[in-house]
């Protein structure tokens, strides 16, 4: 490798690694501000050997100073429609070289061998160059690639197999490549459709619960909507006070999923089933919460907060306590199987106080 090229390359890539890291952080912040979730934002500096190979390609005469991909930034989205959402942010926040940028999603024919992605040649915009932290990168150009995670999977496998054009692929496997490309594109479309359908379902669940229509199945979305309704928010606050903790107005998906599974195990099928149970137990429910805390001799935790939906957790405990007291389930069936005696003590004490007898509701 010529010494002259070595020196030219080292001069060309000065600060590019630092610039790439700065771009990663900047783009992540910009996308987060727009509410666009992506799988990853990464950068790489083209190594010396790859740079030399590109300069020596016979298809076009190139000079090191004209290369725009010495620094590359890649943004991988979860869904294909997010590629356009990311593109809007990039076009707004950076100076784009329109002439040398290309949307391969448009230029590739449907039967062409290759992957679909959006490529920009860009640099920092004048406003950002004026900031001290970016001033040293004012003359730097970079290539930015945006594609979905499935488009990325295709490109990575294609690269690993070593075939960059349809002509190079053996005829016997070309059809299989085409089928696979179609399957990945179909999968991309299906994931997009699933997300859209889930979004519509979330909205319809919220509307139904707001209108008082509780005859809907229990799942993460419907239960989250119910938990954020006035009735459960008020009950959550009451339970939080009873257990000596602050009310936490935050919905945790893993916690909601745990509640969904526990509700199903205890025979709750619809949101209305939960509401009916609360109506039927009334004072017993509140007394049970207090007796549960007392039976466990729990210490109060000033400053700690309960998750949204804590009152639903106590619905589950009370239902299990009833069934356990009646010998309908064993200790192994309890949500907290190592607390069987606590279930019994809390339920009997609450039933005695509210109902005036040793059990039943």
- If one counts the domains in the chain, the total is 2
Higher pLDDT, 229 or 296: 229
Same-domain status, 19 and 69: yes
Q: Give the pLDDT confidence score for residue 285 in this predicted structure.
A: 92
Residue owning tokens 């009646």 = 326
Domain stop point among 172, 188, 204: 188
Do residues 174 and 193 lie in contact, with contact meaning Cβ atoms separated by under 8 Å?
A: no
Residue 206 located in a structural domain: no
Mean pLDDT calculated for residue range 173-182: 77
Nearest to 227 by CA among 204, 203, 206, 198: 206
pTM of the predicted structure, to 2 decimals: 0.72
Boundary of a domain, candidates 188, 221, 254? 188
The backbone torsions φ and ψ at residue 112, rounded to the nearest 5 degrees and listed phi first, read -75, 145
Helix (H) or strand (E) holding 74: strand 71-77
Same domain, 107 and 222: no
Nearest to 178 by CA among 158, 156, 152: 158
Closest Cα partner for 78 from 32, 158, 147, 28?
Answer: 147
**Quick check: is 202 in a domain?**
no
In this structure, which long-range contacts are made by residues 153-158, counting pairs with CB atoms below 8 Å and at least 24 apart in sequence? 153/184, 154/115, 154/180, 154/181, 154/184, 155/115, 155/117, 158/114, 158/115
Pairing of β 142-148 and β 71-77: parallel
Q: Which are the contacts of 2, defined by CB distance < 8 A and separation ≥ 6?
A: none
Of 126, 155, 188, which one is at a domain's C-terminal end? 188
DSSP 157-185: HHHHHT--SGGGS-HHHHHHHHHHHHHHH
pLDDT band with cut points at 50, 70 and 90 for residue 113: very low
Residue 203 lies in a domain: no
- List phi, psi (to 5°) of 239: -65, -40
Flag whether 205 is in a domain.
no
* CA separation for the pair 188, 250 (Å, rounded): 32
Q: Kindly state whether residues 172 and 267 are assigned to the same domain.
A: no
Inside any domain, residue 360: no
pLDDT of residue 245 exceeding 90: no
The whole-number average pLDDT for the span 253-279 is 94
* In a shared domain, residues 217 and 96: no
Residues in a beta bridge with 306: 247
What's 132's DSSP letter?
A: G
Q: What is the pLDDT of residue 114?
A: 47
Residue in the block written with tokens 């290539």: 143
User: pLDDT for 319-342, tens place per residue?
Assistant: 999 998 999 988 888 888 788 888
Domain extent, residue 39, equals: 3-188
Question: Do 287 and 179 fall within a single domain?
Answer: no
204 within a domain of the structure (yes/no) = no
């Amino acid at each position: 490798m010529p010494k002259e090229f070595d020196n030219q390359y080292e001069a060309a890539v000065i600060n590019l690694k630092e610039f790439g890291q700065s771009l990663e952080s900047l783009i992540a912040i910009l996308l987060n501000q727009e509410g666009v979730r992506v799988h990853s934002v990464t950068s790489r500096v083209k190594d010396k050997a790859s740079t030399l190979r590109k300069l020596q390609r016979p298809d076009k005469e190139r000079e090191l100073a004209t290369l725009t991909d010495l620094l590359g930034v890649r943004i991988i989205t979860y869904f294909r429609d997010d590629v356009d959402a990311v593109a809007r942010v990039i076009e707004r926040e950076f100076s784009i070289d329109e002439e040398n940028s290309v949307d391969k999603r448009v230029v590739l024919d449907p039967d062409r061998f290759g992957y679909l992605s959006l490529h920009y040649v860009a640099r920092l915009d004048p406003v950002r160059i004026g900031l001290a932290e970016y001033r040293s990168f004012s003359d730097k150009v970079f290539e930015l690639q945006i594609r979905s995670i499935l488009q990325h999977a295709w490109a990575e496998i294609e690269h690993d197999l070593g075939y960059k054009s349809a002509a190079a692929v053996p005829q016997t496997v070309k059809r299989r490549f085409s089928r696979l490309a179609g399957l990945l594109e179909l999968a991309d479309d299906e994931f997009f459709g699933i997300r859209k359908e889930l979004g519509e379902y979330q909205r319809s669940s919220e509307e139904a619960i707001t209108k008082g229509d509780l005859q809907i199945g229990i799942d993460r979305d419907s239960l989250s909507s119910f938990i954020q309704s006035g009735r459960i928010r008020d009950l959550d606050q009451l339970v939080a006070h009873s257990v000596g903790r602050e009310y936490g107005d935050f919905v945790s998906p893993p916690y909601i999923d745990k509640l969904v599974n526990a509700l199903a195990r205890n025979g709750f099928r619809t949101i209305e089933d939960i509401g009916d149970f609360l109506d039927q137990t009334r004072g017993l429910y509140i007394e049970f919460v207090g007796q549960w805390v007392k039976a466990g001799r729990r210490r109060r935790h000033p400053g700690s907060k309960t998750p949204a939906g804590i009152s639903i957790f106590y619905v589950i405990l009370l239902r299990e306590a009833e069934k356990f007291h009646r010998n309908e389930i064993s200790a192994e069936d309890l949500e907290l199987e190592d607390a069987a005696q606590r279930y019994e003590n809390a339920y009997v004490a609450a039933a005695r106080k509210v109902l005036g007898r040793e059990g039943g509701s």
